[in-house]
């Protein structure tokens, strides 16, 4: 072992010192040292290094790894780095779609007559435009309302000169009442009218029905074919019984008359409907 070899060297040195100048025939080796006889006091401090210890012995002397320590606090944010250089310009994108056409703007105010333009009058038709006009002379042709300007060679149609139609004016005040006209002549008498009254007037009596005490009962009287009901009603046989008319009306299409009576008593009686009929127009 390396430790024993070192210890043997130490013992050999001690033997040389003890012998002084006497001659030593041989050095003390590790084989001549009895196990367990060399103690810590026999070794000089600092003479044994890590290189003198075997790897297995060093591994046996090494302690177990300790637990991981707690993470330290996060450090402060460092200063921002310098801005990078701008990148290359990208390729142009495709052209966008054409937008919808905007609404037409309002008509602008009429401009002043240009310099050198002289409206000298009006003529009825283009054939009446003069032949001896100066450059800039203009005439209004009443046939179409257009302004024609002489440019030295020909008459140029400058378009209509009439402005846009104005707003409708307010209604004027009512005029004074006129004088009364003369009375007209009396007209000829008209033809005689038809006789008045109901044509084919007829009262139709329906069949009598029993009206029990405390009961509401309806009965109908029908007009003959070709006639319509213009009125009607109903009657009870005993007028001393307190009866109450609930309904009295023409039937569908006016073909007859229907009546309903409530018998507000304990006694029975009879109820008879009737209809007033006349010829249909």
pLDDT value of residue 258: 94
Supply the pLDDT for residue 114: 53
More confident residue, 4 or 240: 240
CA angle 97, 102, 106 (to 5 degrees): 165
Are residues 206 and 257 both part of a single domain?
Answer: yes
Q: Is residue 262 part of a domain?
A: yes
Domain C-terminal end among 130, 160, 190? 160
The reply to whether 47 falls in a domain is yes
Positions of E strands within the chain: 118-123, 137-141, 146-150, 155-160, 202-205, 209-211, 216-222, 227-236, 243-250, 256-263, 269-279
Does residue 148 fall inside a structural domain?
Answer: yes
122 domain-assigned: yes
- Band (206; pLDDT cuts 50, 70, 90): very high
Q: What is the CA 10 to chain-centroid distance, rounded?
A: 104
Whether 156 and 206 map to the same domain: the answer is no
- The count of structural domains within the chain is 3
Q: What is the pLDDT of residues 22-75, one digit of tens each?
A: 444 456 776 777 777 777 777 777 777 777 777 877 777 777 788 888 888 988
Domain extent, residue 147, equals 118-160
Model pTM score: 0.32
Please report whether residue 73 resides in a domain: no
pLDDT at 116: 66
């Amino acid at each position: 072992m390396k430790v024993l070899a070192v210890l043997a060297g130490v013992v050999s040195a001690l033997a040389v010192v003890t012998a002084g100048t006497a001659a030593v025939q041989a050095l003390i080796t590790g084989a001549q040292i009895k196990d367990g006889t060399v103690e810590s006091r026999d070794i000089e401090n600092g003479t044994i290094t890590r290189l003198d210890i075997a790897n297995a012995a060093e591994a046996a002397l090494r302690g177990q790894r300790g637990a991981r320590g707690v993470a330290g606090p996060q450090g402060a944010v460092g200063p921002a780095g310098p801005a990078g250089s701008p990148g290359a310009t990208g390729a142009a994108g495709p052209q966008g779609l054409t937008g919808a056409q905007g609404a037409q703007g309002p008509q602008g105010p009429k401009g002043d007559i240009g310099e050198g333009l002289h409206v000298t009058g009006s003529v009825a038709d283009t054939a009446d435009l003069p032949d001896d006009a100066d450059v800039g002379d203009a005439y209004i042709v009443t046939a179409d309302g257009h302004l024609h300007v002489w440019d030295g060679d020909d008459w140029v149609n400058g378009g209509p000169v009439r402005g846009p139609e104005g707003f409708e004016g307010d209604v004027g005040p009512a005029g004074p009442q006129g004088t009364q006209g003369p009375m007209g002549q009396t007209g000829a008498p008209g033809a005689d009218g038809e006789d008045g009254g109901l044509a084919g007037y007829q009262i139709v009596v329906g069949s009598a029905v029993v009206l029990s005490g405390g009961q509401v009962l309806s009965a109908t009287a029908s007009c003959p074919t070709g006639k319509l009901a213009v009125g009607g009603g109903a009657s009870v046989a005993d007028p001393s019984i307190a009866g109450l008319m609930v309904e009295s009306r023409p039937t569908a299409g006016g073909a007859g008359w229907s009546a309903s009576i409530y018998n507000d008593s304990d006694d029975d009686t009879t109820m008879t409907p009737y209809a007033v009929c006349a010829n249909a127009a």
